[in-house]
């Protein structure tokens, strides 16, 4: 099982690309494509060959209106996949907001917990992450859209709560990652406000993940469907890199790996005298 390299998340290092591996029948973009363990293994292997640093395994769709999945059903989806991919040369993230799923996934080989409710949904999640000794991605989320809301202020308040939960549970600062949650309980305008002001999240002193891959914030602007949103996703994520994102969560790994390489070249070669 690969060891987690915290140096990869330092600002002096290159941004990371996280490949999405949904083992669900109903995810908005690729539901039902990779829910068979052997097919999931093949897709994970392909993403690693394309340059993915992290594989994010999810057993429950978090799209609006998705069916809630019970713990045992979620475990039955993700554990067989983790068993197959845990020896691959890549970091593995478990995408879940349930403490039991996170704990069992980490015992099965996951290196990171990706919680779309920022430790605030399941009261046992912070302790489960601390006990596993792994990093956690804490995403901002809302149960419903509020158009007049000052979204950046709301994100600040949410992250302050998440960071306190993490600290109180004993999760070290170097294990804490923030995600503003593009598309989760936000209007189109709020999503683009977050993108334009993403650099403000640097004040928390934690790595920031951006995950807008194939989302409706892209489709609304381009008037296209999820499978056609690669170029738009790439544009959003490139802007996110410029504004300080250090991890990109994506469906299309190879073009994003290329974009990161160009971004790094700009930083390293463009600043040379």
Residues noted as catalytic = 215, 249
Rg, the chain, Cα only: 17
C-alpha–C-alpha distance, residues 197 and 237, integer Å: 13
125: which 2 tokens? 């999640």
41-45 contacts at long range (C-beta below 8 A, 24 or more positions apart) = 41/81, 41/84, 41/85, 44/19, 44/81, 44/85, 44/88, 44/90, 45/88
| CA 146 to each of CA 64, 117, 157: distance values in angstroms, whole numbers, following the listed order | 15, 17, 15
CA distances to 178, 199, 207 from 204, in Å:
9, 10, 9
CB contact at 8 A, 247 and 16: yes
């Amino acid at each position: 099982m690969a060891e987690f390299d915290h140096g990869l998340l330092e600002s002096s290092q290159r941004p990371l690309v996280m490949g999405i591996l949904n083992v669900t029948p109903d995810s908005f973009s690729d539901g039902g494509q990779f829910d068979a363990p052997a097919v999931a293994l093949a897709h994970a292997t392909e993403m690693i060959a394309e340059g993915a640093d992290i594989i994010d395994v999810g057993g429950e769709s978090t799209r609006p209106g998705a069916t809630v999945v019970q713990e045992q059903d979620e475990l039955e989806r993700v554990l067989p996949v983790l068993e197959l991919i845990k020896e691959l040369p890549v970091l593995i993230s478990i995408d879940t907001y349930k403490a039991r799923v996170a704990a069992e996934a980490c015992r099965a080989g996951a290196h990171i917990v990706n919680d779309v409710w920022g430790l605030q949904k399941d009261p046992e999640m912070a302790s489960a992450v601390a006990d596993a000794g792994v990093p956690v991605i804490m995403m901002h989320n809302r149960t419903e859209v509020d158009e007049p809301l000052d979204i950046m202020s709301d994100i600040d308040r949410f992250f302050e709560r998440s960071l306190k939960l993490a600290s109180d549970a004993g999760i070290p600062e170097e294990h804490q990652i923030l995600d503003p949650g593009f598309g989760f309980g936000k209007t189109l305008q709020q999503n683009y406000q977050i993108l334009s002001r993403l650099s403000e999240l640097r004040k928390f002193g934690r790595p920031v993940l951006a995950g807008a891959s194939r989302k409706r914030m892209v489709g609304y602007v381009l008037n296209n469907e999820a499978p056609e949103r690669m170029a738009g996703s790439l544009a959003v994520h490139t802007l996110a890199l410029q504004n300080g994102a250090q991890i990109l969560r994506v469906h299309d790994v190879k073009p994003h790996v290329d974009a990161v390489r160009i971004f790094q070249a700009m930083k390293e070669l463009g600043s040379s005298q």
